[in-house]
Each structure stands twice: as C-alpha cells, then as structure tokens.
A and B are shown apart, each in its own frame.
Chain A
Amino acid sequence: MPSYFQFVLTLMNGLTYGALLFVIASGFTLVFGLMRVLNLSHGAIYLLGGYVGYTASTTVSQLLARSVPALHQAAGGGFGWLLGVLAAAVAGGLVALVLQRLIRNVHGDLAQTLLTLGLAITIGDLCLWIWGGLPLTLDAPDAISQPVRIAGIPYPGYRLFVIGFAVLTGVGLYLLLFRSQLGRIIRAGVDNREMVAAVGINIDRLFLTVFILGGALTGVSGAIGGTYLAFQPGTDFDILTVALFVVVIGGLGSLLGSSVGALIVGLIDSFGRAYFSELAIFLLSGTVILVLAFRTQGLFGRAN
C-alpha cells in the first residue's frame, strides 16, 4: 500500500518538522514577548549553531577516534555530537549576549529591528567566509538513529528523537515560565516592565538572562535540526521566514501559540510538498494571509 506508506511518512515528517519549528519559534517568541524586540538575527543564530555544532562534533569525533578508538566505537559518535550541541548552545548564547549589549543602547523599535537585521547579515557572511557554501549536516549518534517501526512503517529514529526533544523543551519552558521564580518575573515583565523595575528587579539583567536563554536554545536547535536537515548559506533567512510564519499563525509571545503554529506549519509544509508540490509554498503563505486577515494577533496571541 504505497499511498498508506506515503501518508504515514508525510504525517511523521510534518510532525518532526513541526517539532523542530517549535523549538526554533519558542526562543523567538520568548525574546519578543518580554523585550518587544523582533530579533531578525534568529535564523542566523540557528545557522551559526549548525556550523559550530558541525565543527565541534567532527573535531571531537576525529580526536577521539584517533586517541581512544575503543571509546569512540562504543559511544557510536555520541560524544562528538553531544559536544557539538553544547558548543552550539554556547555560540548562540554568546551572540545573544553581544546582541543584548548592543541593543540596550539603541532606542526605538525600528532602529532595534534594523540592528538585528544587520547582525543577521554579518553572521551569515562570516559563516560563508569560515565554512564556505557547501551544504553540511552533523552525524547523528548511532544510539538514536536506529529506525523504529511506526504503524508498520520504519521511520528514522533520529527524527523521533527530534520530536521527543521538542516535547521536553516545551515541558521545560512551561515549568520555567509557570512554576519558577524567574518565570513569574518574566511574565510580570511581559505585562509591565516599569512596575517590575519599580519593585526592585534589575530589568536589564532580566532581559540579558532571557536573551541568552533564547539564543542558546536557538543555537541548540541549529545543531539538532542540522543533524537531519542540511544547512548552507541562505538557511538563515529560510529559517527566519518559517519562524515568522509560526509566530504569526500562533501569536507572538505565546508558548501555546508557538506549539500549535509550529505543528500547523510543519504539517502544511510536509503534506503540501508530498501531495501538491506545485502549491506547497502558496499553501503556507496562504495560511499566513488568512490568519492575518481574520485574526491579526494570531490564534493564541493577545490583542492590543
């Protein structure tokens, strides 16, 4: 039954892509919700995460294969990959740190947005200079890349790992925002920055924390996404566009909105490509236009 096979595969691919998009969009939405800064360098941080993750994981894997081959074999490339993801988190966090230090001296939404765009172009060019123009991917560790049968169909284990990682990220962010002291302060800051400052909380430091958190998460998503989707120059703005689609559909600043928006975009993209390949891009942008026309704030966004 090739059509059944195709349907399940398309559904799973849509869910996997949606899961990755959720992780990408949640960092984006977190930063926007609190700071009202539309970070157009978000896609560039994703791409940088991919490149840094690639270099760190291949370097560590090669070193390990040469010096302790037995351990390298046993870990199945897991050490290199894990360190790649960690390095991507650090790279993303560092870019966010630099961006926050730059942006706090710039006032006005337009000026801040343009600054993030300038940073995006700079990072993109630096990546091209360092890593060249060829598409790259990270090697998935053996332990999480074995095929798994789903509804009778073998599916790449790594893609299931991506779904699991997105679910964990969602739960983690939920606990952070709704069950922790930092989360209470972040939500209060989304409501009213001035009053958060007026009760003695250093809002500049809060912004920095959230910016670094968002940057690190985006860097990680670059390494994790880059393990099954090839990345290259141009991926930065592709990812930014899709992240914008997700938050426009789901509603900026809402975690629930990001998850629903990401699933919608992932499924439309996957089914569009599989069944209506000529229409795929129109289906996606058409959805965005419909949402903008009838519910400007997105499905779960706050009207203001």
Chain B
Amino acid sequence: MSAELLAVDDLHVYYGSAHVLQGISLTHRGGVLGLLGRNGMGKTTLARAIMGLVPVNGGTVSVGGRAITNRPPHRVALEGVGYVPQGREIFPSLSVHEHLQMLSGRRKARGGDGWTLQGVYDMFPRLRERHNVSAGHLSGGEQQMLAIGRALLTNPSLLIMDEPSEGLAPVIVDPLIDKLRALADSGMAILLIEQNLRMATAVADQLLIVSSGRIEASVAPKELEDDDQLQHDLLGVTMKA
C-alpha cells in the first residue's frame, strides 16, 4: 500500500441530486498520470474532492497510505498534496513575491532540501522579473507560473494540476509543457487534469479517460496520439482538424 502516492477507491460525489462522481478508482505510483476528458465530466470535482474542497459522499482517498477522505483542505495539503487549481486562483491583493514569501519555509520537505523561494524564481525567471507586480496584473501565463510556484513551496509529494493550459496561447503552452516535463523528470509526481490533448499526451506517462463521472479507459499517450479513431471514440475530438 505504501508505494501508492495516491489511491482513490470507488469515490462518489453528489452536488445536490446530481451524481457527479460515480465510483472513480485510480492509483498513482509516480510519474505523470493524466486525466483526460471533455468538459463537465467530473475531472475538476475529482481534484476538489481529493483536496477536501467538496464533501465526499462515498469511497476513500488516501495519500502515501494515509486516509485523507473528507479531511479539511489544509490537512490534505500538509499530507503533501500540492494543488494548482483550474483558473489559477492566485491572490490578486498580493504581489508575486508576497505569494511566495507567504509559503516559503512553512512546510518542510520529506527528505531533501525542499523548494525555496529562490528555487521557484530559478525555475520561472519571469516571476523574478515581475516580483513586485500585483498578481492581479499578471498575464495568464505568468499567473500559471505563480500558481505552480505557490504549490511547489508547500513541498508536495504529489502535485495536482487542473487544466494548466486553459486559456493560454500555444506559444505559452509549449514552454509550460517543457517545464512540467522537467519537473516530472526531477521526480515530482503529478496528477495532470487536461482537456488539451496535445498537452496531456506530451506530458503524461499514462492517461485515464474520464467520462460521466467514471474512468472509461486507460491508455498510453503514444497509443492515443497515433490513433485518430481512438481519440474520436474516447473524447469525441481529434488532434488533427
């Protein structure tokens, strides 16, 4: 059990009478696990349920073998889950530097030196250039860097990223793909939620297809990338127009 960074077992979430997650199970043992699916299929709800931001109605979530089902979000974060939410959700009243200052040194890494403010600036030099700027005035791509930096400073053993490519131009997405790949190669485990097929196949080691609150299939990125028919069957879209 302890080898599993994240284990989700038969997870059910309701919003009122809507059955949004209908028994999702998955295990994450390292690397980049991609969750791919169309809009409204429950991907974001799954991320929020793991983080403790929405109540879980059935099933369990555990991190590193420890049960975190329905724990308050700050407990989940302290168990080593970093969260880069959909829409970035940076704090507009704080400057770039204040975001990082706020978290720097709060949670020590489990072994190793852990992330520092300077480490984040080294990864995203653009943030260093903009360190005094109010986060509300950053571009979408810069906000995404800040959201990632903020999550890294909690020294997570698993990083959940919800649609990091959303609303970003392709010229911004390409360097972001490189950064995520570099992060993964340095040993950071990532749960990547995406609608963007190109980003998901470029970054993930394995892909789970989510549809109507269930895991519908598990495919290798290469397999999905090369097979237009499979893309169409699973996602209703293809990479090529």
A residues engaging B (CB < 8 A)?
A: 181, 184-185, 187-188, 190-192, 194-195, 197-204
Please give, as numbers and ranges, the residues of chain B lying within 8 Å of A191 by CB-CB distance.
Answer: 91-94
Chain B proximity of A182: nearest CB distance (Å): 10
Instruction: Spot the interface stretch: B8-16, B98-106, B120-128.
Output: B98-106
Interface residues of B in 75-102 (CB under 8 A from A): 76-78, 83, 85, 89, 91-94, 98-99, 101-102
Are B85 and A181 touching (Cβ within 8 A)? Answer: no
Judged by a CB distance under 8 angstroms, whether B73 is at the interface is yes
Given known A188-B93, A200-B154, A201-B74, contact A195–B101 (CB-CB < 8 A): no
For the complex, give the distance between the alpha carbons of A233 and B83 in Å: 51
Interface residues of B in 55-83 (CB under 8 A from A): 72-74, 76-78, 83
Q: What are 8 sample pairs from A and B whose C-beta atoms fall under 8 A apart? A: A188-B94, A191-B91, A194-B73, A197-B74, A198-B83, A199-B103, A200-B74, A201-B106
Chain A proximity of B205: nearest CB distance (Å): 25
Are A202 and B85 touching (Cβ within 8 A)? Answer: no
For the complex, give the distance between the alpha carbons of A152 and B89 in Å: 56
Are B154 and A192 touching (Cβ within 8 A)? Answer: no
Known pairs A202-B72, A204-B72. 13 more at Cβ < 8 A? A187-B94, A188-B91, A194-B53, A194-B89, A195-B89, A198-B76, A199-B74, A199-B77, A199-B103, A199-B154, A200-B74, A200-B103, A201-B106
For the complex, give the distance between the alpha carbons of A203 and B72 in Å: 10
Please give, as numbers and ranges, the residues of chain B lying within 8 Å of A184 by CB-CB distance.
Answer: 94, 98, 101-102
Please give, as numbers and ranges, the residues of chain A lying within 8 Å of B98 by CB-CB distance.
Answer: 184, 187
Judged by a CB distance under 8 angstroms, whether B107 is at the interface is yes
For the complex, give the distance between the alpha carbons of A185 and B99 in Å: 9
Please give, as numbers and ranges, the residues of chain A lying within 8 Å of B6 by CB-CB distance.
Answer: none
Other-chain residue from B73, B92, B102, B106 in contact with A198 (beta carbon distance below 8 A):
B73
Given known A197-B72, A200-B78, A200-B107, contact A190–B102 (CB-CB < 8 A): no
Are A198 and B101 touching (Cβ within 8 A)? Answer: no
Chain B proximity of A69: nearest CB distance (Å): 53
For the complex, give the distance between the alpha carbons of A199 and B83 in Å: 7
Please give, as numbers and ranges, the residues of chain B lying within 8 Å of A185 by CB-CB distance.
Answer: 102
Chain B proximity of A29: nearest CB distance (Å): 15
Please give, as numbers and ranges, the residues of chain A lying within 8 Å of B103 by CB-CB distance.
Answer: 199-200
The 10 A-B pairs with the shortest beta carbon distances in the complex, nearest first, are A200-B77, A197-B73, A191-B91, A188-B91, A184-B102, A187-B93, A198-B83, A198-B73, A195-B89, A197-B74
For the complex, give the distance between the alpha carbons of A202 and B85 in Å: 18
For the complex, give the distance between the alpha carbons of A195 and B84 in Å: 9
Q: Which residue of B lies closest to A202 (CB)?
A: B74
Other-chain residue from B72, B85, B107, B153 in contact with A195 (beta carbon distance below 8 A):
B85
